[in-house]
Amino acid sequence: MALTAAVLLLVALMAIELLRTAGIGPDTFVVTILETALVAALIAGFFFLYVQEHSGVSELSQTATHETERSQRLSAILALGDEVRTTLDVDKVVATVADAVSATLDFRENAIYLLDTEREAYVAKAAVGGDADYNQDILGRSIPQHVVEGLIRDEFRRGNCYFVDHTTYEWTEEELFYFPSGDFECAGPGCFHPEDGLFVPLLDHEEHMLGLFDVYNPEDGLLPSATTLQMLEILANVAASAIENARYGEAMRQLAITDGLTGLYNHRHFQEMLGNEVERAERYGLTFTLLMMDLDLFKTVNDRLGHPRGDEALREVAAVLTREARASDFVARYGGEEFVMILPGTSSKQATAAAERVRAGVRAIALPVPEPPALSISIGVADFPTCGRERESLIAAADTALLFAKRAGRDMVMRFADASLADVDAQMLEALAFHLENADIETAETFANAVELRDGFGGNHSLAVAESVTRMLDELELDEVENQMMRLAALIYDIGKIGVPVDVLNARGELGSEQLDAIRQHPEIGKQLIESTVRLARTIPAVLHHHERWDGTGYPDGMKGEEIPISARVIAICDSYEAMISDRPYRTALTKDEALAELRHESGKQFDPDLVERFIACLPDDASAGKVAKGPAQATHEAPPDAKGAQKPKRDAPPTDEVLPASDVPPPSAEPEAEE
């Protein structure tokens, strides 16, 4: 305006000047006034131009700042999208998004709730802002579905956000219980009030609500702008997409580890979880137990009722297992009609009680058919670390116990440590060798201890033999590999007795030729059991030849002198000595002097004479002095006491399973007659 006036004045001045030149213009005073007005108009015009330009520059600056902030927020949202898109953990997605909302949009408090359809409630999965205790209180809090969705109504809608204005809406008592007012002050009109609420629904690809943003108390104190609401919508879309993706990934993973028929975990996931449990127990010195379960004669159920009814039976069994399992237990279908259960922090004795409940539960299953078949289950029990320290060895132990449960009559629970009392035939031995293929040292040792129980006298004979062997190793000066092999061999050398009938092992009196043949097969049986087991194969010479004799009259190969592996010669001496100084039901233990005298008597005949002296030299002075009762040990078929109760070796009797002097034989009756 001022600039226009200045221009008009300038034109007027020019016109006056022309008139004056022609001698007809106004006087000097008028001209002066017009010039002054012209200068003032020019100054005002230029000032106006300056103000207008400055305003434009300021506006452009504000626009640039706004666009920069918007660009930064969009960049942050894009980075967030890249981060959560590849995350398959829903909780991690939610926590990351909640942090982004707080950092990007400057809200002091925000929480994210996800819908739990089973509970019909929205559950807080993330909370940011406030103090740590408050955030912890928020996490896990559930709000009834109808309360949340009651606030997502059209009257509050602003785009895809929902703003509850305290000036136009009065919260219900129930709503205030779940969304209480904050303790900050409102700065006045146009500012966020403690009784206001701002919610952004998280919608899946079908526009179904799967969660909710609850944002509160903006740092600038102002009501949310259109830009802020737009950014919240974008963040909500990113979060909903990432949550859907994570849930889909979790569903796919769950599908990959779940048995489709029973709903239990599958074989592959069991192997993974067992490996993890072994590692955890090893690291922290814990124990756990593995149950291996197999339905008995299940083929008959399928044959009689058909596979659909058989599948129904498997689902019923799975329901029993799920019902009996604790929250910390792991249950899976191993394959076919086999199931497994891992029980952390549980001894084999405690696990056996749980297994009995499972067995009873399976027996109680009644299929909805006329005259339903009786279902039963056999269960093998093996615990860590007693029965094995590796995944494969524990499976081998539990599977072996299951094999014996089947052999013992089915529908029973068998601990691996007790899997010894059933007689086995050639087919059973072949299966047993297969089951022990992946056994480790602990598995083999536990099984060998169990085999000792077949003799009926119990005890810790193999442990005593192992102690004697360990003492001799210092005298022999072997390399460490040989020492380790001999220590292991001393624990499992009689493992082949699993193939000898229990009645033969516990026979009293003279053994017949068939009984002797059965006993003399146990070294070969032991070899068959361990030869395919990588960790135990190096003990085969000791296991196979510990009944050879120095004079060549032993078995199974009739080796003589130093042809006999040194490990077998050492074990023969230690085995005999520990047997002689142990009590038996039919005789008391020999004294140390009596046992040593017997070893020297057989030196050069049954035993390596040099090793006999080395063995005697390494005995501690008080070792087994007098009559030392080691407790019941394995059956030795030793000679009966004479009429006065003194031990009298029966050297003319045929040799039996023991390397004791010429195979003494226990008495045939409770009142043995004195020998001639």
CATH number of the structural domain spanning residue 462? 1.10.3210.10
Q: Which residue has the tokens 């094999």?
A: 403
Mean model confidence pLDDT for the chain: 81
Which of 444, 380, 389, 451 is closest to 420 using CA atoms? 451
% of the chain at pLDDT higher than 70: 77
Interval 430-455 mean pLDDT = 71
Active-site entry in 175, 195, 277, 337: 337
- 121-147 exposure pattern, b = at least 16 Cβ within 10 A, e = fewer: bbbbbbbbbbeeeebeebeeeebebeb
**Pair (264, 244) in one structural domain:** no
Q: What is the pLDDT of residue 36?
A: 73
CA distances from 230 to 74, 99, 109 (A): 11, 18, 18
Rounded CA-CA distance 549/568 in Å is: 10
**Pair (413, 479) in one structural domain:** no
In a domain, 81, yes or no: no
Interval 333-354 mean pLDDT = 95
Of residues 481 and 648, the one with the higher pLDDT is 481
**Pair (482, 391) in one structural domain:** no
**Pair (228, 300) in one structural domain:** no
Which of 647, 656, 559 is closest to 608 using CA atoms? 559
**Last residue in a domain, options 378, 398, 419:** 419
**Last residue in a domain, options 253, 279, 298:** 253
Rounded CA-CA distance 159/152 in Å is: 12
Which of 294, 292, 293, 303 is closest to 373 using CA atoms? 303
Strands across the sheet containing 157-158: 142-144, 121-128, 107-116, 209-218, 197-203, 161-164, 157-158
Interval 539-549 mean pLDDT = 95
Interval 519-526 mean pLDDT = 91
Q: What is the pLDDT of residue 155?
A: 93
Task: Reply yes or no on whether the pLDDT at 629 is more than 50.
Answer: no
Cβ of 174: how many Cβ atoms within 10 Å? 13
Task: Reply yes or no on whether the pLDDT at 495 is more than 90.
Answer: no
Ranges 28-42, 154-168, 495-509, most confident: 154-168
**Pair (180, 227) in one structural domain:** yes
Task: Reply yes or no on whether the pLDDT at 379 is more than 90.
Answer: yes
Element (H, E) at 124: strand 121-128
Q: What is the pLDDT of residue 570?
A: 96
Q: What is the pLDDT of residue 654?
A: 33
Q: What is the pLDDT of residue 231?
A: 86
**Pair (351, 498) in one structural domain:** no
Q: In which band, very low, low, confident or very high, does the pLDDT at 253 lie, cut at 50, 70 and 90?
A: confident
Range of the domain at 568: 432-676
Q: In which band, very low, low, confident or very high, does the pLDDT at 149 lie, cut at 50, 70 and 90?
A: very high
Rounded CA-CA distance 261/464 in Å is: 51
Per the document, the length of the chain is 676
Tokens of residue 484, six digits: 């380790």
Q: What is the pLDDT of residue 46?
A: 66
Q: For the chain, what is the domain count?
A: 4
CA distances from 211 to 3, 229, 643 (A): 61, 17, 91
Q: In which band, very low, low, confident or very high, does the pLDDT at 386 lie, cut at 50, 70 and 90?
A: confident
Question: What are the DSSP calls for 360-419, one per residue?
Answer: HHHHT---SSSSPPPP-EEEEEEEETTT-SSHHHHHHHHHHHHHHHHHTTSSSEEEGGGT
How far does CA 247 lie from the centroid of its chain?
Answer: 22
**Pair (537, 553) in one structural domain:** yes
Cβ of 576: how many Cβ atoms within 10 Å? 24
Rounded CA-CA distance 651/662 in Å is: 5
- The verdict on whether 337 is a catalytic residue reads yes
**Pair (504, 411) in one structural domain:** no
In a domain, 265, yes or no: yes
Of residues 414 and 624, the one with the higher pLDDT is 414
CATH of the domain at 410: 3.30.70.270
Tell me: the pLDDT tens digits for 167-214? 999 999 999 999 998 888 888 889 999 999 999 999 998 899 999 999
Task: Reply yes or no on whether the pLDDT at 413 is more than 90.
Answer: yes
Of residues 249 and 652, the one with the higher pLDDT is 249
Q: In which band, very low, low, confident or very high, does the pLDDT at 647 lie, cut at 50, 70 and 90?
A: very low
Q: How many CA atoms lie within 13 A of 224 on its CB side?
A: 27
**Pair (271, 181) in one structural domain:** no
Cα dihedral 352→357→358→361 (10° resolution): 160
Q: In which band, very low, low, confident or very high, does the pLDDT at 504 lie, cut at 50, 70 and 90?
A: confident
Q: In which band, very low, low, confident or very high, does the pLDDT at 340 lie, cut at 50, 70 and 90?
A: very high
**Last residue in a domain, options 184, 218, 253:** 253
Which of 598, 599, 590, 592 is closest to 570 using CA atoms? 599
**Pair (482, 376) in one structural domain:** no
**Pair (247, 284) in one structural domain:** no
Interval 309-315 mean pLDDT = 95
In a domain, 478, yes or no: yes
In a domain, 424, yes or no: no
Task: Reply yes or no on whether the pLDDT at 625 is more than 50.
Answer: no
Rounded CA-CA distance 72/103 in Å is: 12
CATH of the domain at 149: 3.30.450.40
In a domain, 468, yes or no: yes
Of residues 525 and 356, the one with the higher pLDDT is 356
Cβ of 75: how many Cβ atoms within 10 Å? 11
Q: Which residue has the tokens 């116990």?
A: 401
Q: What is the pLDDT of residue 576?
A: 93
Q: In which band, very low, low, confident or very high, does the pLDDT at 670 lie, cut at 50, 70 and 90?
A: very low
Rounded CA-CA distance 601/578 in Å is: 16
**Pair (111, 54) in one structural domain:** no
In a domain, 452, yes or no: yes
In a domain, 210, yes or no: yes
Q: What is the pLDDT of residue 77?
A: 67
Whether a cis peptide bond, with omega within 30° of 0, leads into 385 is yes
In a domain, 74, yes or no: no
